[in-house]
Amino acid sequence: MQVRAEMTRGRVLRAAAHIFSEVGYPSASMKDIVTAAGVTKGAAYFHFASKEAIAVALVEDQFAQWPPLVVAITQRAGDPLISVVALTFEVAARFRDDVLVRAGVALSTDRHLVRATLPTPFVGWMRVLTELLGQACDEGLLRAGVDPQAAARALVGGFFGVQHISEALHGRADVQDRLVELWQIFLPGLAEHGDWNLLSAAAWRVLDEVHDGR
């Protein structure tokens, strides 16, 4: 009865995602979760050993979804800077729209509230961006003196901060606008002759293709 089991597991996960992102992990009670999921406590505890295990599953699911996206975008884009911009747009959109992702982000942000060991956040993104910016550097696209790794760290920090504030103040409704603002300040420091209008237009084209391709 694999399919019923898989359905139950998914229901729990989705319900937990909603509740976690609404009231936060510590205030979410298993009772709320199973009620929202429409399953019994026994069923939930058959699939997840504990509340923490649900959180871990959620965060790991979220982590697992990025590598394929990175591959899809970099393949279509060709240019590393376009890839980076497109990634930030797409990730921001998912942060805003996908409740599983929102929950994963909330859990990662409050990771000290979860006793279980969650995967370390940020470092994966730093690696990806360091790689892409390194390529850009090799291709002579970066401003002289820019260290790809330092730029990657700054970019991840900026993205996270902007996204967090957008969430705190407006439920991420304005996250894309804030992201554009961030890029407009960032770009001159990153690429000598980068033109934001061209870059963002290219990034959107890539995203359109990626979305259609699916």
Q: Tell me if 10 contacts a second copy by CB under 8 A.
A: no
Q: Which does 95 bind (CB under 5 to 8 A by kind): DNA, a second copy, none?
A: none
| Interaction residues for DNA, span 52-71 (CB under 7 A) | 52
Q: Rounded to whole angstroms, what are the CA distances from 51 to 56, 60, 64?
A: 9, 14, 20
Minimum CB separation of residue 211 from a second copy in Å reads 27
Q: Tell me if 117 contacts DNA by CB under 7 A.
A: no
Q: How many residues sit close enough to a second copy to count as binding (CB under 8 A)?
A: 42
Minimum CB separation of residue 12 from a second copy in Å reads 21
| C-alpha–C-alpha distance, residues 77 and 207, integer Å | 9
Sequence-separated (6 or more) residues with CB below 8 Å from residue 34: 12, 15, 40, 41, 43, 44
Nearest to 97 by CA among 165, 176, 24: 176
Here the tokens at position 91 are 């990730």
- Residue number with CB closer to a second copy (72 or 142): 142
Q: How many residues sit close enough to DNA to count as binding (CB under 7 A)?
A: 24
What is the per-residue burial (b if ≥16 Cβ within 10 Å, else e) of 55-66? Answer: bbbbbeebbeeb
Q: Which does 122 bind (CB under 5 to 8 A by kind): DNA, a second copy, none?
A: a second copy
DSSP class of residue 112 equals G
Here the tokens at position 73 are 């975008």
Q: Which does 205 bind (CB under 5 to 8 A by kind): a second copy, DNA, none?
A: none
| C-alpha–C-alpha distance, residues 107 and 89, integer Å | 21
Nearest to 15 by CA among 56, 53, 44: 44
Site string for a second copy, 135-174 (x = CB under 8 A): --------x--xx--xx-xxxxxxxxxx-xx--xx-----
Q: Which does 51 bind (CB under 5 to 8 A by kind): DNA, a second copy, none?
A: DNA
- Which of 111, 119, 124, 210 lies at the binding interface for a second copy (CB under 8 A)? 111
| Interaction residues for a second copy, span 26-65 (CB under 8 A) | 26-27
DSSP class of residue 80 equals H
- Which of 47, 94, 96, 178 lies at the binding interface for DNA (CB under 7 A)? 47
